[in-house]
Structure 1
Amino acid sequence: MKTATPATARAINDRLALDLLLAHGPLTAPQLRDLTGLSRPTVADLVERLRAAGLVEAGGETGEERRGPNARLYALVADRALVAGVDIRRSGIAVTVADLTGSTVGSAARPLPRPPAGGEVDLPALVAEAVAEAAAGRTLQVVAVGAPGLMHPRTRAMIAGNDVPGWRADLLPELGSRLGAGQVLLENEVNLAAIAEHRTGAATGSEDFVLLWLENEGVGGAVVLGGRLRRGVSGGAGELGLLDIGGESFCETVDLRAVLDLPREQLADRIARGLFAVVAVLDPGLIVLGGSTGRAGGEALAALVAERVALRSLAPTEIRPSTVEGNAVLQGAVLTALDLARDEVFG
């Protein structure tokens, strides 16, 4: 078995300390020693390395119930890198800019106008303006963009079109050129909502679940198995809206316009018919009802759907409403951008 080189060991220790500062906030050297199990000289060395790299700074002192000077607190340099999450819908654009700790430092929104007669909406310009407003002149390490559509799982290029006004195949490189960001990536918006649900919402602590997205602008889904988002070979995993339910697409049966005045029990019946296929194939154990319809239905709708799924399936399946606060797509985009930025900055 190979042993780690001194350089590798230092890199591992540094990343461990940075992750602890992310999880706990400012810590003293003694606290870092307790949490890492590293020796006093090793912690002292890594703190100095991280300070020299501009990743950690002294953040005041903490009063400990002992004689002698207070212990110095060390904190992440939160603005060492900034990221942006972008949610592009058919109706508008929303942007959140966050620092390395995940704290929001800026936001912006733009409605998407109808294309002018004989012309097109300049979507790259509108997105770039919104991101620039939220960033307020600050450089961005990573920009993660969420949008409806089928994305290739490796290249992240859109391989099936959407009807977002002004959408272009070269949107990502155009944004990268306009924004000067280190990296710009594209992800399906429901996949991003599932990431937020897994990290901060109803699926926290669950390794396997399916998110059913019931939104004003469409119906979709996302699959998480073994704690990982599953996109499929072509990027089409989770496209639940395409299921055939009695000669109609699942999307048509639970679309907002189709269920607007529908009694909750009938809505639950329609949702359960589609979810039975998901449970029969994947047996995820948990399904989260997201989007505006899922959130509005809350625990009452989730309970009704669970009853109806249980009548059809032998696999025990829990149904929960989304608990992500605010825009789940935008939060998932920020979380995705943060993961990449931290790996780049922390090493």
Structure 2
Amino acid sequence: MSFSTIIGQEQLKRRLGTSLAGDPGHAFLFTGPTGAGKTLVARAFGKALLCQTPSEAGACGQCVACRLFDEGVHPDWRSLVSKDGKGIRVEQVRTDIVADVSLYSQMGGRKVYLVDADHLNEQGQNALLKTIEEPPPHVCILMTASGPERLAGTIVSRMAHFPLARSTPEELRRILTGAGISEELPALPFLLRYARGIPGVALELATDTWFIQVREEVLDRMASVGEKDRAVLLTETYGFFNREKDHADTLLDVAGTYVRDLALVASGARETLLLNADRRGAILDLVRRNRYDIAQLDRAGAAVQHARRCLTLNTNFETTICSLLLQLRKELAHA
């Protein structure tokens, strides 16, 4: 697992390589949203720290240490995660790290600890503080967190911070195809942008049959909302939203992307910016045939966002969705 196996994150990989070329230090914090690849990067760096012949490109992948790491049995590697999904207990910190760091490395090199800081409470952080402040020379502590604010300032100030960048659409494409996702997937162009640069989100959605199907249905209903009879909207179309009530935020997200695409076309923007590129022809036809103007589409987009806000405030679901559908019918009326 050299750094070359990590797609994207070029600046971060250069920084890590530079660290390996000199004195790496003892404490590293990797931050980014869920699914950004923090653990993947931290593990690659941890492997390089344990490698017997590392380079600026990371671990060699061939030495005994690398083979043991790949097999999950390296004696000087510890991964501290929540065992019940609720949090890392302070006893885990004291047993797995604080008491362990004073012991010599079994392979004569470094001892490396990976900590999921998003599940580390204040007590756990306090228990770890002295080790981070005064680590034994052979110890490296790697932490992952959604952001530095998840940790006490006294800890963050003693760590080298490596924030992960969001992946580009092309990087996401390479990640998805490398994971076995077909480039022929109709929704792929949409996923590459909808994932907002987060590989984990793109991978999850690309393999989620429900999401792929429900996106198609939302887009179909948005394409015809302007020509639907009022009664049909308030029964059949509302019924669809009601059946997927628990995922209303996702449905409104997709609906919002469709209105956004209509507005892009109406404004003369480049078609390559469309999120729903697999619906390009239908979107172009709809805008040209109905001569939508930007003001109409702005109101339609605002209506979707208003509905989202209302639902977060626990307003009546039926009232909110029916009002939205009627507003969309008005703004997206077919000529």
Larger radius of gyration: 2
Structure with the largest fraction of strand: 1
Structure with the largest fraction of helix: 2
TM (normalized to structure 2)?
0.29
